[in-house]
Amino acid sequence: MSELCAEEEDPVQVVVFSPVVFVWSVPHTHSTTTTAFACIFQCFFCQQVQQSCNSSSASADEPSEENHDCEMVKMTKSKTFQAYLPNCHRTYSCIHCRAHLANHDELISKSFQGSQGRAYLFNSVVNVGCGPAEERVLLTGLHAVADIYCENCKTTLGWKYEHAFESSQKYKEGKFIIELAHMIKDNGWE
């Protein structure tokens, strides 16, 4: 959705990206000038009467119905993740977008090899999607695996073990491999 912050000389187009980030109530009056900063804020009262942010009919020294409590909202592009892991725990995050991926307590092994180097085996992960399962011959034999990717930035992170054909590898079923090249340590690693 886009809105026009009207000024008598130059109209400036503002694109609203996301839901409310900050909300506060203050009495306000409309300015006769438009700045980039002013167009970031959007007045709900002005929306309701179908006026733009800086209406040319209102001015700072004309107190009328603009001199009321009006909610001002700062609109910014936000990132929404499916899950946030607690700040008190050591976590691993996507190196590309910082979405949480796994809690350190879910780490099973650091002794795995991915296609791009070392990888960790996790019991469970968050904010990842799974592709279709396919059979692959890996270093430890034949497995049915599905590539996993970050739900936020869509980067392929590793894979999920769907089925192990050798009995010695059954412990991997339902577990996740994330390559170190795609994750960073986050929260509580001091």
Compare 171 and 84 and report the one with higher pLDDT. Answer: 171
Structure tokens at 187: 């929260």
Neighbouring-strand partners of residue 183: 94
Span 152-158, average pLDDT: 93
φ/ψ of 173, rounded to 5, equals: -60, 130
Cα distance between residue 82 and residue 66, in whole Å: 39
For residue 119, list its beta bridge partners. 112, 179
The pLDDT of 13-21, averaged and rounded, is 41
User: Higher model confidence: residue 110 or residue 35?
Assistant: 110
Residue 88 — pLDDT band, cuts 50, 70, 90?
low
Sheet holding 100-103, edge to edge: 100-103, 91-94, 183-186
- The neighbour count for residue 30, using CB atoms within 10 Å, is 20
Q: What is the mean pLDDT of residues 111-136?
A: 93
Q: What pLDDT sits at residue 68? A: 43
Q: Tell whether the model's pLDDT for residue 91 goes beyond 50.
A: yes
pTM: 0.55
* 3-state SS, residue 39: helix
CATH class of domain segment(s) 91-186 = mainly beta
Q: Where do the structural domains in the chain lie, given as residue ranges?
A: 2-75, 91-186
pLDDT in tens, 35-48: 443 433 444 444 44
